[in-house]
Amino acid sequence: MKKLFFRIFRKKIDEYRDFSIQKKISVAFVLLLVPLILFVLIWFVCALDATNRYDKVVRNTAIISEFNLDFKKNYDYKIYLITTGNRTYTDQNPEQDIRYAKDIIRRVKATTENSENKECIVQIERYFQVLEKYTKTIQENMQKEGKYDENRDLWEN
């Protein structure tokens, strides 16, 4: 097998020596052009991959920007209005805000690949679970008399 390869290779070299100078230049040009084309193709694929990753980041940023940066302030204000009796629980509906925020977090989680970001999302999901628990407790307490202090303590924490 090895001898056959060398025999074919030797034959091709002998044929190359018999080429005219113009044909040798053409062969050299093609031999230089092929790696250049491969390099450009590889570069294009890498650029396309980087663009796709950037698009995901931009998409996640757009999704997360829907989540109001003042969520906690707005939520606290709604709970304050509810606990002081200025508004009813039904009017303020803090659970709707939590559901909306959780939906946004779910959409971001679906497109996140970075493990650190996924850990942050898991922590945010836990935060919303705790928030839902406190919200339900406040709702139950609002239906009972004399639970203002307990609701205020929940709201402050």
* Torsions phi, psi for 70 (to 5 deg): -95, 25
The pLDDT of 13-26, averaged and rounded, is: 84
Domains of the chain, residue spans: 1-66, 69-157
Helix/strand/coil (H/E/C) assignment for every residue in the chain: CHHHHHHHHHHHHHHHHCCCHHHHHHHHHHHHHHHHHHHHHHHHHHHHHHHHHHHHHHHHHHHHHHCCCCHHHHHHHHHHHHHHCCCCHHHHCHHHHHHHHHHHHHHHHHHCCCHHHHHHHHHHHHHHHHHHHHHHHHHHHHCCCCCHHHHHHHHHC
The model's pLDDT over 104-146, given as tens digits with 9 standing for 90+, comes to 888 888 888 888 888 888 998 999 999 999 888 888 877 776 6
The model's pLDDT over 35-52, given as tens digits with 9 standing for 90+, comes to 999 999 999 999 999 999
The model's pLDDT over 70-112, given as tens digits with 9 standing for 90+, comes to 788 888 899 888 888 888 888 889 999 899 889 888 888 888 8
